[in-house]
Structure formats: C-alpha cells, structure tokens
Amino acid sequence: MTNQAFVANLYHAPIKGTFDYIEQACIEIDGLGMITQVLSPNHSDYTQLVEQHENNSSLTRLADHQYLLPGLVDLHTHAPQWPQAGKGLDLPLHDWLNQYTFPLESSYSDLTFAARIYPELVDTLLAHGTTTAMYFATIDSAPSEYLARVCKEKGQRALVGKISMDEKSMCPDYYVESSTQQALSDAEAFIQNVNEIDAQQGLVYPVVTPRFVPTSTKALLEGLGKLVSHYQCHVQTHASESDWARDFTEQAYQKTDVELYNETGLLTRKTVLAHSIFLSESDKETIKSVGAGIAHCPLSNMYFADAAFPLREALDKDLHVGLGSDLSGGPLPSIFHAALDAVSHSRVREAGTNTHIMEQRGEANTRVSFVEAFWLATHGGGLTLDLPVGVFKPGYCFDALVVDSNTQGSQVRVYDDLDSEQDILEKIIVHTTEPAISSVWVNGRKVK
Amino acid sequence: MTNQAFVANLYHAPIKGTFDYIEQACIEIDGLGMITQVLSPNHSDYTQLVEQHENNSSLTRLADHQYLLPGLVDLHTHAPQWPQAGKGLDLPLHDWLNQYTFPLESSYSDLTFAARIYPELVDTLLAHGTTTAMYFATIDSAPSEYLARVCKEKGQRALVGKISMDEKSMCPDYYVESSTQQALSDAEAFIQNVNEIDAQQGLVYPVVTPRFVPTSTKALLEGLGKLVSHYQCHVQTHASESDWARDFTEQAYQKTDVELYNETGLLTRKTVLAHSIFLSESDKETIKSVGAGIAHCPLSNMYFADAAFPLREALDKDLHVGLGSDLSGGPLPSIFHAALDAVSHSRVREAGTNTHIMEQRGEANTRVSFVEAFWLATHGGGLTLDLPVGVFKPGYCFDALVVDSNTQGSQVRVYDDLDSEQDILEKIIVHTTEPAISSVWVNGRKVK
C-alpha cells in the first residue's frame, strides 16, 4: 500500500477538556496506516500535499456534512455476553452471573456456537465505530483464540483475554479451571498463540484476564502476575465494582482490590481496571503512579455498581481513563452512547436523587462535559491502553470514522445557521446511531 | 374504508406490571381505524375471522421476526426545540431557557422557519413509533396551529398547545404575551381553530398550555382555568420540575404547583403535569382524586430536575403516569429510549450515587422493571390522556408499530433458542432504534 490522504472536516480532542475542529483538514497516512501529516488549510504545505495526492488519485474528499472523528475505543466489553444484551438486568450482579452469564459463557466451548456469535458481534462494534475493543472472552482457550482471529480478519484492533477463574467455591462446577496450574499454563499458551496470530501488524493483542478477585485464588493472581512480567502484555480485570465485590476482598485479604492486584504484579501501565467505583485515595495514588487505567462503564454502573464512579475526580487527578460498553452488564454496544451516559450519570451524581433531602442532595461540582466525554471515548481510551490511537497526530494509527448527517437513517440533524462547532460535536455524541456512521477505518484499512 | 385484519405476534400491557404476548393473534379493525376484535389462535372464531379476511384480501400477515406493539405515547415534548436537541445541556434550567430556548422558540413567528422544522420533527417522531404526542408549541398562534395541521396531515395523533406566558418580569421582552387579556383571547381562538382543523376524526386536539408558574400571572391561570371548564379540553404544564421552580411557587403563593393549578381550575382528568419531581403527599392525593396525570421524562430529569422523580411511588399509588421525551430538555426523540432511561434512572435512585455514604446510599425498593416501563410507554400514556390508545382491545384505536428484528439496520437481535418472550420484549425496549421500526399505523392509517 502506498500513501493516501483525506480532506475532511475533522473533530478530535488532543487536549482533555477541549476539542479541535479543523475544516478541510488534510490527513496523510502511509502504507501501514500510520498518520504522517495533519495539515490545516492555512499551513504552507497544505496545497502542495492536496495536489500531490489529487494527481496520484490517492485523495479522498469527504463532503461538507461528513465529519471525520477518531475511531472509538471500548475499554471493557464481554464478547460472549452479546446474545443476552438487554435481558436479565433486573437481577443483582451475583445472581445475574450465575443465572444468565456463566451458563451462556460456558456454551462457547462449542466452537460452532462461537462462530454463530463472535463474527456478528465484531461486525456490530465496527459498525458502531468501535475501532479498538478490549474483550473479555471466556474461560476456554479455543473460542477465545477464535475471537482474536475474527478481529484480525475483520480488521478490528482488539485486545483479547481468555478469562482465568479457578476459585472453585465461587465458580459453578461446569465453568471453572480444572486447577490453578492448568489455568496458568492455559493463560500462557493463550498469550503465545495470540501473539502468533498477529505477529506482523500489531492489530490483535493478548490480555491476561483474571475475572475478578472472588473467582481467583491468590496463587492464580500471583502466577498471572509473573506471566505479565515475562510477556509484558496487557491486563484487564474488574476492580471494586460493587459493595459486595469490595467487601469480599476486604474480608478475604484485608486489602483493596487495587492493593491486591498491585502486590501480585497485575497492576502495570498496561492494566485496565473496569469500574473501580470504590477506590480509596491511596488506591488512586497507586493507579496514578503505576500509570494503570480505568474503564468507566456508566450504563452498566447504573444497574450493577451500587453507586456512581467518581469520574470527575479521576479526570482532575489525570488518571488514565476511558469508556467501556461493558456488554452485557451495559446492554448497548455504542461508545457514543456510553459518552452520553457518562455525562448524564455525572449530572445525576452532582444533583443527587432523593427528593426527601433538601440540603446537599448530591455531590457539588462533579459534572462532566460532553467535550470531556468525547475525549474519554477517543483519546482517553488510547492513552489508557498505551496505544497510539484516539487522536489525529503524526505517529498515530489512522483509526477513524465518518459521521454523515445526511445519510439515510442518520438522526444527527445539523442546521448550519443555528449550530456552532461545539453544538455539532455535542449532537454527534448524543444522536449518532449506527446508520449515521458511513465509514470506518482501522490502521488505514476501510472496515465499514 | 372497510374492515381489515392483521395476523401478528403481538406484545401489549393490558395490566400494569405484566405483559401479554400472543403468537399469531388476529386483530380486526373497522373502517375508522378502531379495533373490533383481538383473537388468539385458540379462540373458536379465530379460523373463520382469518379466512374471511384472507378471502376478502383484507388480511395482512406479519412475519415471525416482526413484533406488533401498541404505538408509543409521548406525553411531553417541545416541538420548537427540536433543532437544539442535544446541545446546551450543560446549563442550569433558567440559563438554558434564556440563552437557548426562548430565542429559538420566538423564531417560529416566522412561518417559513416553522415549515422548515415541524414537518421534519413529526416525521421523525412517527418514524420512532410515537403515534400520539402531546406538544408544547410556542407562544405564537399561527405556527402553533400550523403544527396541528402538520400532525393532522401526516396522520399523527397529536395534542397541541399554544404556550401561554404573560408574566413580563419572567419572560424576555421579545417573547411574552402583550397582555393577559390578549393571552386569554389568543388561547381561546387557538382552541376553536384547532377544533376546526380536526372536526371529524378526533386526531388532533387543542391543549391549554400555561408554560409554568413563574411565567404566568395568577389572572392568566384563572382565565385559562375558565377556558378549560368551558371547552373541556386537555391541559399541559410543568409542575415542580426543580428546586427553583418549587421554591418560586412556594414563595409567590405559599402553595405547591399542584395546589395552585387545582385552585385555578387547571387540574382535571385531562391534565398532564410534566416532571412533578417534588410532590407532597397531599399533592399526590389531589392528583389521584382528580385523575390528572404525570409525564415522566427521565433523561430530561437527569439534566434539569435536581432529583429523581418518585416513579415507584406513583405506580404503586395508581396515579396516571406515562413517559415523555421532553425534547429538547431530553435530547432523544425515542420513547423506547425513555423507557430504558426510566428503568436505568430508577435503579440509580434505588442504589444511590455517593460512594462516601456506606449506609442507606439510595432509596430501597424503588426500582421499576422493563415490563412496567413498557406499560408506561403505551397503556400508561393512553390512560393519562384519557384516550383509547396504548393497548390492543376492542374499542381502542389501532395505533401500532412493528419492530422487525431482521430488517436492515435493526439492532434488535433475537435468538429463538436463547430468548424467552420476556427477554425479547426487554431487548425490543433496549435495542429498538428507528430503522428497526418497519411500519407504523395511527387510527388504522399506515404512516410509516
């Protein structure tokens, strides 16, 4: 592949809390899908660059009603739970796991079942503009490796984890590792095999994935920590998602989840902690000093977290944080929707809910803006994963999507005489549904 | 028009808190669009009815992956605010009104502006399955009557109000009635004119619409109360939406909004109170004894209400209550989405948000189920308006929609071997976006 370029009206968020809008920006990418230049029309090289690609027939011009945005990053999603997205949300977390989730996840040991679900899920996420996804798969290695191959084939940037869970008292007997030793050797083989799948392009990555503390023996956590140290791979797990989960670790270890993960070698620059609702001040310091990150999953939190994640504080403390759909604890596959939910949920947190309380109903000054939510969905996600995605800059991957306000089925209504640049961005976040996303690229490859 | 019939897999909620699913139900409707029969396949007349319509070529058979539901009822939506849906939500209510809303609303005095927006809005709501909408229009009569004509023409059941607001100290000088007398005579002429538009079919209704207490003089409220008594028409207004709004009435009148509306003749069986966040026990009793109703607008509440509406208590007390989009205080036009938000918001209310509180963070046992939210979106809405819509029963209007899980762009995924009847209903509520709604009827007329 040779270089190509795009001329487009572009939104991105290089700096948290603000956005850049560049009308008729020219983005050049190389044959590997990396961005080499991003020029505004007033740059002295702009005309030459555009003309050069025009002459080479390597220029794509987007229309005025098409907006180029960085691809969305989903930091936390359970691939096997896709078929149950939207159902069973009335149950508490523990019952939901045992009645719905574990039986469903175990059925992926049948690869024909996996083949029925995973390709459709990856297509769905790509269609919603999710160019990078961090997936929990299942306990079984074969279907989890299959998920990684599906992502590779369809061109989605994916971080895939085979789940490790060996604490027999907390797992159903049909869905638990046969032994800690087996769990560790399977986890290691999974890392090697996924590295094998994608030795060349850096599109698909293995992730060490202890489900959460209650389903892990300490020996498993320690063994996985050694794998992480050896293979320098990503880690994902759940941290302090609910009162129950927090209390479990406190009672079993007299520690917080963050302390336990840190001591077992599982907290690194490439660790993503889902939820992290109940963090102590010391936990936050630890996360910050290590450079680990947090997947904020607002819709899922509304159902299962027992409280609101202190997102405002995480942003102000410059923690690495982005958004997750948490399929299917959160039922919707759209990271645009997660951004809307992040704003809405922060407003509810700020205001409080209880009409019987007249003073200090909520927590003052904890709202998050749409512009911040846009950063979370893109740049924040890339930063959390320590991957060069989520912003249009030289040296970053060209992972991008087009929101087209004029295409069939688009719910994004732009009124040129009424809407400012920021208004349009806010409307894109709030109103973009799948049909409005007319094109998606990952690493420069068009995948929608 | 002669009788026709449909054979369809049907969901509706004749009884609050439960749903009926009838596979291959046969619904017969007459030439005026009223339902005459709803038969299950095991009914003794079923075969004859189906054959009769088959022979007359008056039978429509839906496919297995198509689900027939009652049309959705939007109890509270501001038609003129559609162009700003999704922007400006960062402001407090009072600033949002003055900076965004009032300037926009005033621009509809130019009928060419109204003609640019209203047809598109009505098309959008119909496409989202909203077969009945209760609209706030603007202060100006001509564009408000135009909105009623657009609804009539496009076939949407609509209750349309010209806004009355005459308190000069609380309204911008460019957007206020010239006098109380003028306000009352305009309101009366509006009632007469809208009744004229739709003298025959009962599709479009005028609504007496004082915006809310702060923008109304007491003389206006009293005068409007007399019009309501004379014309027996619907009423819509905002009640106790925020701390500010509640306190305003308390300070100005030493009363609650409900007390004031009741004393001025504005609280009737056909009154819809938007929001109603801060109701006293006595307010609830009054609402119940009068038979007035409440439009619950969960997404808007997250931004502007300062607290969560006590929906659980309203349902348990058998108040008339349904859902509203509250465009554009709520930015989304979908009542399916409002149903999801009602459930999510009730869960947040139940759990609470503040991680620093360890005991009694939320309000126990206040969650609302998806099945209850479905009732709110359909039957509850019809009941609140005192109109025969929202359920499939003889004597009710055939206002209906089809959710097609197989159609292009549908995000509703049904797995026949994995999903129960209730699972499918929950997925429909959570995942239905505009493309999945393949057909919509109002009064038996196909409008999508």
Q: Over 90: is that where the pLDDT of B2 sits?
A: no
Q: Does B302 sit within 8 Å of A423, measured CB to CB?
A: no
Residues A342-368: pLDDT tens digits? Answer: 999 999 999 999 999 998 999 999 999
pLDDT in tens, B348-369: 999 999 999 998 999 999 999 9
The contacts of residue B351 (CB under 8 Å, 6+ apart) are A305, A306, A307, B361, B362
CB contact under 8 A, B331 and A104: no
Distance from CA of A19 to the nearest CA of B (A): 15
- Tens digit of each residue's pLDDT (9 = 90 or more) over B11-35: 999 999 999 999 999 999 999 999 9
Q: Which amino acid is at B191?
A: I
- CA distance to partner chain B, nearest, from residue A267 (Å): 23
How does residue A11 score in pLDDT terms, banded at 50, 70 and 90?
very high
pLDDT digits (tens, 9 = 90+) for B38-60: 999 999 999 999 999 999 999 99
Q: Kindly report, residue by residue over A53-86, the tens digit of the pLDDT.
A: 999 999 999 999 999 999 999 999 999 999 999 9
**B360 in contact with A at a CB cutoff of 8 Å?**
no
Q: Is the pLDDT of residue A441 over 70?
A: yes
pLDDT of A22 > 90? The answer is yes
* Residues A344, B299: C-beta atoms closer than 8 Å: yes
The answer, yes or no, to whether residue B389 has pLDDT greater than 90, is yes
Q: Which residues of chain B are within 8 Å of residue A435 when distances are taken between CB atoms?
A: 409, 434-435
Angstroms from B185 CA to nearest CA on chain A: 33
Parallel/antiparallel/unpaired status of strands B437-442 and B445-446: antiparallel
Q: Is A329 on the interface with B (CB under 8 A)?
A: no
Contact B302 A348 (CB under 8 A): yes
Chain A, window 171-200: residues with a beta carbon less than 8 angstroms from a chain B beta carbon: none
Within its chain, how far is the Cα of B397 from the centroid?
A: 16
- What share of chain B in percent tops pLDDT 90? 95
**Among the partner residues A86, A351, A353, nearest to B427 by beta-carbon distance:** A86
Q: Is the dihedral of CA A38, A43, A44, A50 positive or negative?
A: positive
| Residue whose pair of structure tokens reads 């109701």 in the numeric block | B279
Banded pLDDT at B88 (limits 50, 70, 90):
confident
CB atoms within 10 A of CB B253: 14
Distance from CA of A153 to the nearest CA of B (A): 23
Question: B355, B415, B420, B437: best mutation site toward chain A, by most A Cβ within 10 Å?
Answer: B355
* Identity of residue B200: Q
Distance from CA of A243 to the nearest CA of B (A): 9
A306 reaches B (C-beta below 8 A):
yes
pLDDT at position B104 is: 97
Q: How many residues does chain B have?
A: 448
Residue A272 has pLDDT above 70, yes or no: yes
Residue B361 in contact with partner chain A when CB distance is under 8 A: yes
Pick A4-70+390-446's CATH classification: 2.120.10.30, 2.30.40.10, 3.40.50.2000, 3.40.50.10190: 2.30.40.10
Tell me how far apart the alpha carbons of residues A116 and A95 are, in angstroms, rounded to a whole number: 26
Mean pLDDT calculated for residue range A10-39: 98
pLDDT tens digit string along B313-329?
999 999 999 999 999 99
Check residue B199 and give its pLDDT: 67
- Are residues B87 and A355, on separate chains, in Cβ contact within 8 Å? no
Chain B residues with CB under 8 Å of A433 CB are 433-434
* A331 in reach of chain B (CB within 8 A): yes
Residue A44: pLDDT band by 50, 70, 90 thresholds?
A: very high
Subunit contact B348:A352, Cβ cutoff 8 A: no
Q: Residues B99-117: pLDDT tens digits?
A: 889 999 999 999 999 999 9
Sequence-separated (6 or more) residues with CB below 8 Å from residue B341: B298, B299, B302, B330
State residue A446's pLDDT score: 97
Closest to B369 measured CA to CA, from B347, B399, B396, B337:
B347
The CATH number for A72-385, chosen from 3.20.20.140, 3.40.50.1450, 3.40.640.10, 3.30.70.980, is 3.20.20.140
Do you know the residue count of chain A? 448
At residue B140, the 3 state secondary structure works out as coil
Contact B378, B73 (CB under 8 A): yes
Confidence tier at A90 by pLDDT (50, 70, 90): confident
Tell whether A89 lies on the interface with B, counting CB pairs under 8 A.
yes
Q: How many CB pairs under 8 A join A and B?
A: 157
Give B174 to chain A, closest Cα distance, Å: 19
Nearest CA in chain A to B87: A423
Q: Is A433 on the interface with B (CB under 8 A)?
A: yes
Nearest chain B Cα distance for residue A48, angstroms:
37
pTM: 0.98
What are the residue ranges of CATH 3.20.20.140 in chain B? 72-385
Of A86, A104, A355, the CB nearest to B430: A86
Q: What residues in A contact B296, CB-CB < 8 Å?
A: none
Percent helix, strand, coil in chain B (nearest 5)? 40, 20, 35
Tell which A residues from 255 to 294 touch B, by Cβ distance under 8 Å.
277-278
Contact flag A434-B433 (C-beta cutoff 8 Å): yes
CB A270 within 8 A of CB A386: yes
Structural tokens at position A338: 């997660």
For residues B224 and B179, the answer to whether their CB atoms sit within 8 Å is no
Cis peptide before B328 (omega within 30 of 0): yes
> Does A299 contact chain B (CB < 8 Å)?
yes
To the nearest whole number, what is the mean pLDDT of chain A? 97
Q: What is the pLDDT of residues A289-341, one digit of tens each?
A: 999 999 999 999 999 999 999 999 999 999 999 999 999 999 999 999 999 99
Nearest to B348 among A120, A353, A430 (CB): A353
Q: Does residue A421 sit at the B interface (CB-CB below 8 Å)? A: no
Q: What is the pLDDT of residue A1?
A: 60
pLDDT digits (tens, 9 = 90+) for B243-298: 999 999 999 999 999 999 999 999 999 999 999 999 999 999 999 999 999 999 99
Q: How far apart are CA A29 and CA A5, in angstroms?
A: 6
User: In this complex, is the C-beta atom of B89 within 8 Å of any C-beta atom belonging to chain A?
Assistant: yes
In order, the DSSP letters of A166-209 are: --TTTS-TTSS-S-HHHHHHHHHHHHHHHHHHTTTTS-EEEEEE
One-letter amino acid of B102: F
Q: Beta-carbon neighbour count of residue A265 at 10 Å?
A: 18
Partner residue opposite B426 with nearest CB, options A87, A302, A409: A87
CB B374 within 8 A of CB B70: no
Query: Is residue B247 classed as helix, strand or coil in its secondary structure?
Result: helix
Predicted pLDDT at A92: 77
Name the minimum distance, in Å, from the CA of A105 to any CA of chain B: 13
Contact A246, A266 (CB under 8 A): no
Q: What is the pLDDT, as a whole number, of residue A94?
A: 80
**Which 8-state DSSP code applies to residue A34?**
B
**The two three-digit tokens of residue A78, written as one number:** 């359970």
Contact between B398 and B336 (Cβ < 8 Å): no
The answer to whether the Cβ–Cβ distance between A370 and B89 falls below 8 Å is yes
Instruction: State the burial class of residue B42 (Cβ atoms within 10 Å of its Cβ: 0-12, 13-18, 19+).
Output: exposed
Band (pLDDT 50/70/90 cuts) for residue B383 is very high
User: Quick check: B347 and A426 CB within 8 A?
Assistant: no
The pLDDT, as a whole number, for residue B159 is 98
Instruction: Give pLDDT tens digits for A101-149.
Output: 999 999 999 999 999 999 999 999 999 999 999 999 999 999 999 999 9
Tokens at A168, concatenated: 């027999």
B353 touches chain A (CB under 8 A): yes
For residue B10, the one-letter residue type is L
In this predicted structure, what is the pLDDT of residue B226?
A: 98
- The shortest CB-CB distance from B302 to any of A85, A87, A347 is to A347
pLDDT tens readout for residues A385-401? 999 999 999 999 999 99
List the single residue in A84, A302, A415 with the smallest CB-CB distance to B344: A302
Taking only the tens place, the pLDDT of each residue in A218-255 is: 999 999 999 999 999 999 999 999 999 999 999 999 99
Identify the three-state secondary structure at position A320. strand
Interface of B with A in 113-132 (CB under 8 A): 120, 124
A330 touches B: beta carbon within 8 Å: no
B201-224 tens-digit pLDDT: 789 999 999 999 999 999 999 999
Closest CA to B287 of B260, B264, B269: B269
Closest-CA distance, B330 to chain A, in angstroms, reads 10
| Cβ neighbour number for residue A31 with a 10 Å cutoff | 10
3-state SS, A205-255, equals EEEEEECCHHHCCHHHHHHHHHHHHHHCCEEEEEECCCHHHHHHHHHHHCC
The pLDDT of residue A198 is above 90: no
Report how far residue B175's alpha carbon sits from residue B46's, in angstroms, rounded to the nearest whole number. 58
User: What residues of B are in contact with residue A277 (Cβ under 8 Å)?
Assistant: 355
Contact A120 B415 (CB under 8 A): no
- Antiparallel, parallel or unpaired: β B234-239 and A445-446: unpaired
